Amino acid sequence: MYLYLYLYLYLYLYLYLYLYLYLYLYLFYYYLGFLFFRKSIKRIGHDSKGL
């Protein structure tokens, strides 16, 4: 009985760890995309000013 409880606990811990890893990776890529997007917007703004 206790063995099954420990197994369930380990499974839940691994699931939470994987979820957090995916969440951090998603946020990291989202942040990178946001920085790239902001740079492109700034570049477009400068181009319009130049014209």
**CA dihedral defined by 17, 20, 21, 22, rounded to 10 degrees?**
120
Q: Phi and psi dihedrals of 17, rounded to 5?
A: -60, -45
So what's the pLDDT on residue 42? 73
CA–CA separation, 24 vs 33, rounded Å?
14
Provide the H-helix boundaries in the chain. Answer: 2-50
So what's the pLDDT on residue 20? 96
More confident residue, 9 or 48: 9
Average pLDDT, the chain: 86
9, pLDDT greater than 60: yes
CA–CA separation, 7 vs 10, rounded Å?
5
